[in-house]
Amino acid sequence: MISRKAVSMMLAASLVLAACGKNDGSASSNTSSNNTTTSTAPPTTGTTNNSGSLYNVPGQESLGVSDVQTIIAQAVAEAKAQGKPGVIAVVDRVGNVLAVYTMAGAPANTRLRDAPVPANDTGLEGAVVPAAAAAISKAITGAYLSSGGNAFSTRTASEIVQQHFPPATFTSGLESGPLFGVQFSQLPCSDLSSRFVAAGGASAFIGPKRAPLGLAADPGGFPLYKNSVLVGGVGVMADGDYGFDTDITDIDYDIDEQIAWAATNNYAAPSTITADKIAIDGTSLRYSDATNSTIKSTPAQAPAFSTAAGVGSLTPVTGYFAGAVIAGQIYGSEASGIRKASTAEFNNVDGFILTNGSGANRYPATGGSDGADIGAANALTAGEVSAVLQQAFIIMGRARAAIRQPLNSRAQVTTSVVDTRGKILGLARAPDAPVFGIDVSLQKARTAAFFSNKNAAGDLNGDPDGDVKTYIPAARTFLNNPTAFTGATAFSSRAIGNLSQPFFPSGTDANPNGPFSEPIAKWSPLSTGLQLSLVASNLLQHVGYVSGTAATDTPQRCTALPDAAAGQNRLQNGMQIFSGGVPIYRGNILVGAVGTSGDGIDQDDMTSFLGLYYGGQAVGGIGEAATGVRADQVVIQVNGNSVRLRYVNCPFAPFLDTSDQNVCDGK
């Protein structure tokens, strides 16, 4: 990892979240190679969804300037009552920063929590970062993880990103959290995320925007709703500690969370969709330890924002906020950067796409750019990309959601397709899919394509960071395969996640770490292994830029891997280590990958896997990796036991329109 000395000298950070379900290597996983039963094939055209809309479009609501001012005023009143001045950030649903307010006496900086034994700090632990960056990341987390069917807070995030789920003193031996690794998404270096444009113009407000520290697991971030429609998020940083809750069995009194809770008065999530109404693997999620009875102020009686002179002031934040309160964008509008697709853009009545703010689809289905690498005749065509996206959309529309209320809602996700160079070839999403899934679906696709590529080992060994160079030798030793990661095995993002656990397999606490992870003595959500090592220099540069200690921002290019094409590496927005990404093959030739994110991770796996399977059937010529080369054929000896990697894990009986059970078997 980064040296502790380097972290101490430079400002940096990134933290938590993306989709739920199991991500370990347990024997119960239902892999695609376990061909015990077959299921009825879904339609191979768009008729299931195109005959009529299956989804409601979110209401046309947004935060106005007066709304933002009220939210800040309520937070300020609670902070004064607590005697703990803080920094308050408000964002809209696509991540535009609408205000950052710093109270007099609030800490200018915050510290990323140390490891349990501070001497073991190896990643970003212990780094000091701007408090405003932490508050913005919390606000974005609340907005991005939520939807019209689920409301997740940063406390929810904390529960689902740690080495055991749920995190508690008695859960040793349970697998890792369902969002394990998602802290390193929405990165400030991402080539997908739009950046703040102070001068305005058509592209000024398009989303999704980046988060300065990634997604946060530190309590104190909530989504904001207006007339029951998700419109943004609020984040607070007052206590100087940016961490996570390692034990959910008790009730915490977190100052940041108390202040943020007060801020949501009249903008709170509907109680029917908060995280505590949603269970994952039989465990109810956590939403808030703050309540109306624990806060010390009466938010409805908070002094008006206009009377706050002397209490604090709006604070410009380099790269995020110009210093004056602005109104949020209406999600679904052209200006928001995410809107309903026309029939020409995506042939499904419910399809949503990303837009450039001037009417153009940012990622229309297009052919692969890698013909010189794999042969021009092998590169994906625009028609093939479209077929995979269309079929994935149909699978999503049939699937029962895992993290939405009411029960038996349909899943809503984002799906991305890339070529072997990591170029984005197409992207489509459901109307109310959580925004975080956009960046994560792309990370998953790129991860599957990267590690299945014959160039994976060479690219990692070509990274100038000495730490990155250590992972391929470690992985080859671990796998007992001196030529691993040279294209002989098809790796899904689930399989790479197996190799990125601090215990292998996940939950087997007596076992050593996977080769892409730090050992548990040095592991934390801020010190993970290869996933962080690849982007650490980007994070350090960006937080230095926000704080004013670095003259230039990180480029829109995560990692220092060698170029696959001019200005393009294969992991341009970082790697991801949980389920939902699978490679695409033409015969035995890798031609790209598909990634899905936004619901349960088993639902994500299924959407990508079956979307590819039926998309390939519809057009011919492309499809899944041959069963004999999939990662679930790799068996590893660990402490005298044989452990098989996973490839995909599809939900049992997942569809709302059929009783089919093992829907991925035999494919």
pLDDT digits (tens, 9 = 90+) for 135-163: 999 999 999 999 999 999 999 999 988 78
585's enclosing H/E stretch is strand 581-586
Spatial separation of the C-alpha atoms in residues 504 and 478, rounded to whole Å: 11
| CA atoms within 13 A of residue 560's CA, in its CB half-sphere | 18
pLDDT score at 171: 77
Dist. CA 499–CA 654, nearest whole Å: 27
* Predicted pLDDT of residue 495: 97
Q: Name the residue among 20, 30, 4, 374 with its Cα closest to residue 166.
A: 20
pTM assigned to the model: 0.93
Q: Which helix (H) or strand (E) holds 154?
A: helix 154-159
User: In the predicted model, what is the mean pLDDT of residues 365-377?
Assistant: 98
Low-confidence winner among 62-66, 174-178, 434-438, 470-474 (lowest mean pLDDT) = 174-178
What letter represents residue 94's amino acid? V
Q: Which two tokens stand for residue 66?
A: 């007066």
> Per-residue pLDDT for 118 more than 80?
no
426 - beta bridge partners?
Answer: 417
The answer to whether 13 and 366 have CB atoms below 8 angstroms apart is: no
Query: In angstroms, rounded to a whole number, what is the distance separating the alpha carbons of residues 435 and 354?
Result: 11
DSSP string, 199-253: T-STTTT-SPBP-BTBS--SS-EEEEEETTEEEEEEEEE-SSEE---S-TTS---
| Interatomic CA distance for residues 500 and 528, integer angstroms | 8
Alpha-helical segments (H) within 403-535 = 436-452, 456-461, 471-479, 493-498, 530-533
State whether residue 535 is helix, strand or coil. coil
Give the whole-angstrom CA distance, residue 108 versus residue 113: 16
343 burial class (0-12, 13-18, 19+ CB within 10 angstroms)? exposed
Helix axes 255-263 and 65-82, enclosed angle (nearest 10): 140
Please say if the pLDDT value at position 379 is more than 50. yes
Q: Are 66 and 416 in contact (CB under 8 A)?
A: no
Confidence of residue 308 (pLDDT cuts 50, 70, 90): low
The pLDDT mean for the chain works out to 90
When pLDDT is cut at 50, 70 and 90, the band that residue 392 belongs to is very high
The CA-CA-CA angle for residues 98, 103, 107, to 5°, reads 105
pLDDT of 29: 36
* pLDDT band with cut points at 50, 70 and 90 for residue 254: very high
**Would you state the pLDDT for residue 21?**
38
Confidence of residue 22 (pLDDT cuts 50, 70, 90): very low
Residues listed for the chain: 667
pLDDT digits (tens, 9 = 90+) for 316-328: 999 999 999 999 9
Taking only the tens place, the pLDDT of each residue in 223-239 is 999 999 999 999 999 99
Q: What is the pLDDT at residue 46?
A: 35
Q: What is the share, in percent, of the chain residues with pLDDT greater than 70?
A: 91
- What pLDDT does residue 366 have? 98
Instruction: Give the integer Cα–Cα distance in Å for 476 and 487.
Output: 13
Write the DSSP assignment of 93-139 as a string of letters. TT--EEEEEEETT--SEEEEPPPSSGGG--SSTT-EEEHHHHHHHHH
Q: Is the pLDDT at 10 greater than 70, yes or no?
A: no
Longest dimension (CA), the chain: 70
pLDDT tens string 572-603: 999 999 999 999 999 999 999 999 999 999 99
**Mean pLDDT, residues 236-255 taken together:** 91
Q: What is the DSSP letter of 65?
A: H
Q: What letter does residue 592 receive in the DSSP assignment?
A: E
The CA distance from 654 to 650, in Å, is 8
**Alpha helices (H) in 252-309, listed in sequence order:** 255-263
What residue has token string 């904390």? Answer: 158
Residues 158, 524 contacting (CB under 8 angstroms)? no
Q: How far apart are CA 662 and CA 331, in angstroms?
A: 37
Angle (nearest 5°) at CA 502 between 496 and 506: 70
Burial grade of 195 (CB within 10 A; 0-12, 13-18, 19 or more)? middle
Structure tokens at 513: 């770490």
Integer Cα distance of 232 and 140 in angstroms: 8
